[in-house]
Amino acid sequence: MKDVKGSLAVITGGASGIGYGLASAFGKAGARPMLLDIEAKALDAAVAKLVATGIDAAGAVVDVTDRQAMRQVAGEIEAAHGPIHMLCNNAGVGTADPLQIARGDDWDWVLSVNLMGVINGLLAFLPAMTRHGEPGHIVNTASVAGLFPMRDIGIYNTSKFAVIGLTETLRDDLAGTTIGVSALCPGYVNTNINQSRRNRQAAFGASRPPQISADAMRAIDRALKTRGLAPEAVGEMVLDGMRRDLFYIVTDPTFWLPVRRRFERMAHDIAALHGGLPASE
């Protein structure tokens, strides 16, 4: 989408962090952000803050893991606000547990929100977005943790690698339609992601503190605070990337290095097994 003025942008996880940054950037550019979130109080505060700056924002409480509720809210939004142009499947949660001690309910929770939440967003909103024939764009929030592995956050890595795979195929499937697709891969962003447990639904069992060392946890906290971008800066980058129809919106270029190492390792192992690599396609 080149011009977002007047368009309707649905943003899951819009009450905090990156979702709020997207709403703010889109709103400043003239779009109408519709924030969806599981956290009612934070959602009200976020919408009020946007409206106070003159942005035409609104919100609805919904859990992205609830497919039926997502479908219902999609219908309600379309009926009340008209055609939906942008969809940011952004709601997400994190855990930090080495895989050898990860529990089943942690897997269920993180995959339900981070992966099934994105899938439920597509099931609920994509049909209406393609039906009206106007330009549109889908941004799925993955992570640089969806591009290379990171020790101790294997559940999160798994969910984000899956979002990358889904989004790459989605872009191919929607090629030639009016809907563009991008994968947002943030590096560190200064948000509330480390307090994700606040939103763990009872259905996924009692949460427990991250099972990594206090030092490792402090290092992550520090990185988020000191290296972390402001969510609004990420919102501006997404707007820029969307206007230029970029697919991978990677917020920190230094993460290209571990991505390259992953592919170099792959090339090395293929060459080792087969005595070389194919010269060209």
Ligand X SMILES: NC(=O)c1ccc[n+]([C@@H]2O[C@H](COP(=O)([O-])OP(=O)(O)OC[C@H]3O[C@@H](n4cnc5c(N)ncnc54)[C@H](O)[C@@H]3O)[C@@H](O)[C@H]2O)c1
- Closest distance of CB 99 from ligand X, Å: 18
Distance, CA of 12 to CA of 87 (rounded, Å): 8
Distance, CA of 187 to CA of 147 (rounded, Å): 11
- Joined together, the tokens standing for residue 23 give 């709403």
Residue 239: CA count within 13 A, CB half-sphere: 25
Is 168 in a helix, a strand, or coil? helix
- Closest distance of CB 225 from ligand X, Å: 10
248 is an active site residue: no
Q: Which residue has the tokens 């809907």?
A: 179
- Joined together, the tokens standing for residue 168 give 């790459």
Q: Which is nearer to ligand X, 38 or 237 (CB)?
A: 38
Residue 177, number of CB atoms within 10 A of its CB: 13
Query: Cα 23 to chain center, whole Å?
Result: 13
- Joined together, the tokens standing for residue 6 give 């007047």
- Closest distance of CB 73 from ligand X, Å: 11
Whole-number Cα distances in Å, 230 to 70, 235, 250: 28, 9, 14
Q: Which is nearer to ligand X, 178 or 216 (CB)?
A: 216
Q: Which is nearer to ligand X, 94 or 180 (CB)?
A: 94
Q: Which is nearer to ligand X, 257 or 267 (CB)?
A: 257
- Closest distance of CB 50 from ligand X, Å: 14
Q: Which is nearer to ligand X, 203 or 270 (CB)?
A: 203
Q: Which is nearer to ligand X, 131 or 151 (CB)?
A: 151
- Closest distance of CB 45 from ligand X, Å: 11
- Closest distance of CB 13 from ligand X, Å: 3
Buried/exposed 137-171: b ≥16 CB within 10 Å, e otherwise? bbbbbbbbbbbbeeebbbbbbbbbbbbbebbeebb
Q: 72: Cβ–Cβ under 8 A, 6 or more apart, which residues? A: none
**Interface positions with ligand X (CB under 6 A):** 12-13, 15-19, 37-39, 42, 63-65, 90-94, 113, 141, 143, 186, 188-189, 191-193, 196, 199, 224, 228
Query: For residue 13, what is the DSSP state?
Result: T
The burial of 119, by beta-carbon neighbours within 10 Å (0-12 exposed, 13-18 middle, 19 or more buried), is given as: middle
Positions marked active-site: 156
